[in-house]
Copies of this chain bind each other. A is one copy, B any other.
Amino acid sequence: MTVGVGVIGTGMIGTQHVHRLSRAVMGSSVAAVFDVATDRAAALAQEVGARAAGSWSELVEDPQVDAVLIASPGDLHAEQVLACLAAGKPVLCEKPLATTADDALKVVQAEAAGGRRLIQVGFMRRYDAGFRDVKAAIDGGVIGEPLLAHAVHRNPGVPDTFVGEMSLTDSLVHEFDTFRWLFGQEITATTVVKVRQSPLGAAHLRDPQIVLLELANGAVVDAESFVNCQYGYDVRCEIVGSTVTVALDNPRTTMVLGEGRRGESVPPDWGVRFGQAYADELQEWIGALAGGATIAHGASDAWDGYAASVVAETAVASFAQHARTEVQLVDRPALYDREAGR
């Protein structure tokens, strides 16, 4: 059985997903594509033998579309996900699930009311080999009790469209999901720490910054965000256990000795670093759907997407108020009754 996927949004990431679904993922075909940039959508549709839908709602309703992948601008996500729920179709929504915690909550409540998990949120790190090794070390008891973590998330630079609190809502939001997942604990409070600013950063950004995340079991994560570090895309962390620590490094295949130095390359961007994770995310999703499930095992679900949105909003408040701010989550519906973050 081939899963027909409808893809909403044909920007960079949407286009990559269309290519992956049609070329690299077993068991899927791209049934329909939509973008407000209709020419781009049409060209892409033709390239992969899909239909160019006239609107995103038409795409959702299309009987050839078994499942929907949302890669549109974030402020449309909640409405589009709700439409998928209404149509009873599985949906993989690129992060964020919604741009406000309230909207994310509406999605959670709608899904909970339906009684069936259909929504998956695109936190692709859960499919990265390195992060999975870290998770396995924690869950396997290799490090004893996990107590705290250090994390860095650096980009060489960001486009002019990267503004305001996006280092929290767009960049560190990955860490919000990552550490909920790794520790299997909700985040209960955030503190955004003001740091000396890089002279190379855009004037409208606060960059770099450090965010403290407190988890329900008392563990703490200090996470650095630095979106114009200049030298590369660098995502690393060290989880400190009671007996052992495990650290995620950048993948390495070769070492070069030259010009007085011995070293390895740092990924230039997130596409290089996490390209395989994106492919594996899609493959596991399609595989789950082909097997009759509506969401892949271990994936970020709507609750995870909601929690990440609340944490991001809390961090923005902490930033604005220069103070530690507590995370307020609603009671988790029974539909999501498994360990937090799993």
> A interface vs B, CB < 8 Å?
23-26, 129-130, 133-134, 137, 142-148, 150, 152, 193-200, 208, 210, 212, 215, 217-220, 222, 224, 226, 229-232, 234, 240, 242-266, 268
Chain B's nearest CB lies how many Å from the CB of A79? 33
Q: For the complex, what is the distance from the CA of A38 to the CA of B195, rounded to whole Å?
A: 52
Asked whether, in the complex, the Cβ of A231 is within 8 Å of the Cβ of B249, the reply is: no
With a CB–CB cut-off of 8 A, which chain B residues contact A219? 195-196
Asked whether, in the complex, the Cβ of A196 is within 8 Å of the Cβ of B251, the reply is: no
Chain B's nearest CB lies how many Å from the CB of A324? 9
With a CB–CB cut-off of 8 A, which chain B residues contact A147? 195-198, 208, 226
With a CB–CB cut-off of 8 A, which chain B residues contact A23? 26
Q: For the complex, what is the distance from the CA of A152 to the CA of B24, rounded to whole Å?
A: 33
Asked whether, in the complex, the Cβ of A148 is within 8 Å of the Cβ of B253, the reply is: no
Q: What number of copies of this chain does the assembly contain?
A: 4
Asked whether, in the complex, the Cβ of A262 is within 8 Å of the Cβ of B260, the reply is: no
B200, B218, B261, B265: which contacts A265 (Cβ < 8 A)? B261
User: Who on chain B is nearest to A130 by CB?
Assistant: B253
Q: For the complex, what is the distance from the CA of A200 to the CA of B242, rounded to whole Å?
A: 7
Asked whether, in the complex, the Cβ of A231 is within 8 Å of the Cβ of B252, the reply is: no
With a CB–CB cut-off of 8 A, which chain B residues contact A134? 254
Asked whether, in the complex, the Cβ of B133 is within 8 Å of the Cβ of A254, the reply is: yes
With a CB–CB cut-off of 8 A, which chain B residues contact A222? 150, 210, 222
Asked whether, in the complex, the Cβ of B224 is within 8 Å of the Cβ of A150, the reply is: yes
Contact (A240, B256) CB under 8 Å given A145-B198, A263-B263: no
B145, B200, B244: which contacts A199 (Cβ < 8 A)? B145
With a CB–CB cut-off of 8 A, which chain B residues contact A255? 246-247, 249
With a CB–CB cut-off of 8 A, which chain B residues contact A229? 240, 243, 245
Q: For the complex, what is the distance from the CA of A231 to the CA of B195, rounded to whole Å?
A: 32
Chain B's nearest CB lies how many Å from the CB of A7? 17
With a CB–CB cut-off of 8 A, which chain B residues contact A250? 262
User: Who on chain B is nearest to A201 by CB?
Assistant: B242
With a CB–CB cut-off of 8 A, which chain B residues contact A261? 231-232, 256, 261, 263-266
With a CB–CB cut-off of 8 A, which chain B residues contact A194? 218, 220
Contact (A231, B218) CB under 8 Å given A224-B148, A246-B255: no
B200, B226, B252: which contacts A240 (Cβ < 8 A)? B226
With a CB–CB cut-off of 8 A, which chain B residues contact A265? 260-262
| Inter-chain pairs besides A200-B243, A249-B254, 17 sampled, C-beta below 8 Å | A25-B26, A142-B258, A147-B197, A147-B226, A148-B224, A193-B212, A196-B217, A200-B242, A226-B240, A231-B259, A232-B257, A232-B261, A250-B262, A251-B251, A251-B252, A251-B253, A260-B265
